[in-house]
Amino acid sequence: MSHCKIINENIFQNSLFLSQNKKEMASGFFAVLDDIAALMDDVAAASKVATKQTAGILGDDLAVNAEKATGFLSSREIPVLWAITKGSFINKLIIIPIAFLLQVIFPPAIKIILILGGLYLAYEGVEKIIEYFFHKKDKHEELAAETENGENAEKIKVKSAITTDFILSLEIVIIALGSVLEKSLPIQILTVSVVAFLATVGVYGIVALIVRMDDAGYKLIRKSNNKGFLTFFGNLLVKALPLIIKALSIIGTIALLLVSGGIFDHNIEWVHQFLPHFTEMVKHLLYGIIAGLLVFFIISGIKKGISLIQKQ
């Protein structure tokens, strides 16, 4: 009888121990969930602030990348856009860890990289303007050659778009990181990652809608049998696309100069103090044009020097 009593007491104690463990595990699990929920709330709040601060550069990013992703055959628009989008994701996967590493090891390196990127954007913007005004004939010949060698030309354009995206992505990441420097490291990493992801999906999602406007218009026209409001709206989409592409070409070029000028203004102290009475947009545009012209003439001089050496 006493032996059975001991066994029952042991069973009771074991069950009590297991019950307590289960309660502790449950409370621990819910505590983890609470911590995760609190972290997500902090990330959501920080992401909202970071997105607001990157709104300007995201607008420029949209204009530049929309211009870069147009001008292809209709059947190649989505594959090309997808290739650029994948490149953009890879850019951010490279930039984010490097940005955090440099922020700890050598913060001035970030400014140096941004300024070099700004010089590239300024050069690209000025080169487009010079080509438009002084090399129209050469540009038409180049476009004709590209049409004949479509696959190679497509690869070159995609590579150029991904290179430009790298610089724009770098500035987005730096601005997002700068807005959460006072937060803990997990919140910094998650916030910057969220902003980078939303920037890529948002920008290239809108670009995809733009480049497929004409297809959507043609489908509406066919669906409505050339009658009614759907036909009118479909025709509007089809006719609007060439105008939007031309506008994007101009806006994209201006955006390149504005972004580059903004990089110089925000990261070079004496440039920031220069022209104090000018509005920010005018200053940025002017800085972008000046920097782009300097780089353009330097590169042109180097190319001519190499050409002369080769002829000798």
* Average pLDDT of the residues in 57-79: 69
The contacts of residue 179 (CB under 8 Å, 6+ apart) are 46, 49, 50, 53, 191
Q: What is the pLDDT of residues 239-279, one digit of tens each?
A: 887 888 788 778 878 888 888 888 888 888 888 888 778 88
Confidence class for position 294, pLDDT limits 50, 70, 90: very high
Confidence class for position 32, pLDDT limits 50, 70, 90: very low
Q: State yes or no: pLDDT of 70 exceeds 80.
A: no
pLDDT for the residue numbered 2: 53
pLDDT for the residue numbered 235: 84
Q: What is the pLDDT of residues 183-234, one digit of tens each?
A: 777 777 888 888 888 888 888 888 888 878 878 888 888 887 777 777 888 8
Of the candidates 180, 190, 184, 186, the one whose C-alpha atom is nearest the C-alpha of residue 50 is: 180
Instruction: Tell me which range, 7-16, 44-53, 140-149, is most confidently predicted by mean pLDDT.
Output: 44-53
Task: Identify the DSSP state of 286.
Answer: H
pLDDT for the residue numbered 213: 81
pLDDT for the residue numbered 107: 80
Domain residue extents for the chain: 54-304
Cα–Cα distance measured from residue 168 to residue 152, given in angstroms and rounded to the nearest whole number: 25
Question: What is the share, in percent, of the chain residues with pLDDT greater than 70?
Answer: 70
Burial 58-97 (b: 16+ CB within 10 A, else e): bebbbbbbbbbbbebeeeebeebbebbbebbbebbeebbe
Cα–Cα distance measured from residue 205 to residue 107, given in angstroms and rounded to the nearest whole number: 33
Of the candidates 183, 193, 162, 199, the one whose C-alpha atom is nearest the C-alpha of residue 54 is: 199
Cα–Cα distance measured from residue 94 to residue 111, given in angstroms and rounded to the nearest whole number: 17
Q: State yes or no: pLDDT of 31 exceeds 50.
A: no
pLDDT for the residue numbered 290: 93
Q: What is the pLDDT of residues 119-152, one digit of tens each?
A: 888 888 898 888 888 766 555 555 455 545 566 7
Q: State yes or no: pLDDT of 182 exceeds 70.
A: yes
Confidence class for position 12, pLDDT limits 50, 70, 90: very low
Q: State yes or no: pLDDT of 57 exceeds 90.
A: no
Q: What are phi and psi of 229, to 5 degrees?
A: -65, -40
Confidence class for position 14, pLDDT limits 50, 70, 90: low
